Amino acid sequence: MHKFDFFMRDNSYFYAFILVFIAGFLWSLGAVVVLHMIDGHSYVFNYLFYRGISIAVILVCYLIIREGLGFYKNFFKIGIPGILGGIFLATAFTGFIFSITMTTAAVTLFMLAAMPFIAAIFGYLFLGELLRRPTLIAMVIAFIGICVMIINDSISGSVLGALVGFISACGFALYTVTIRWRPETPKFTTVVLAGIF
């Protein structure tokens, strides 16, 4: 029995790793699409609108398949954490697209890579989660890297893009904190709200 439990936990970790990898890969493709748009600045809101609607529709279909027609009851269970999570995630979505159109994809994605460390800081401040020494060291290194990227972008005149990318990372981090604040909050419903916002 214990061996079976270990096997299931091991498989769950593997499946989670694969899903995160695929999500990261698909998310990175968004940067490529935006950068290859002719005069991408003119289509930012169009892109955000259609992507938000697509996210909401796909997740609603998933919820219908998973929970049936009573899925809408989840919207009454999200509470303040779910609403805040939706707002923070929508901010992250919007900031990502604007940052991509203002600076290079590398700078934007580097800012997003700092999100786990920002989330760790917010988790410590708002949830009282302790920070281990390796985490603190990684956070310092990431902060130094962010400063270097912002300085380089200020030289090239696109510092605003780096700052918007940082705001996007903060949005993702705060979304993560709201999920951990009330773990029972329906998570997919929160993402649907983010798509609508």
pLDDT in tens, the chain (197 residues): 444 444 445 567 777 778 778 877 777 776 677 667 666 666 777 777 887 888 888 888 888 888 777 777 777 777 787 888 888 888 888 888 888 888 777 777 777 877 878 888 888 888 887 777 887 787 788 778 777 766 765 555 577 888 888 898 899 889 888 888 877 776 777 777 777 76
Together in a domain, 114 and 17: no
Provide the residue range defining the domain that includes 30. Answer: 1-36
Together in a domain, 65 and 12: no
* Helical spans, DSSP H, in the chain: 2-35, 44-67, 79-102, 105-113, 115-122, 133-156, 159-181, 187-196
| Total number of domains constituting the chain | 2
CA dist 105 to 28, 61, 136, 153, 158, Å? 9, 31, 27, 12, 12
Together in a domain, 190 and 111: yes
Together in a domain, 7 and 77: no
Together in a domain, 138 and 47: yes
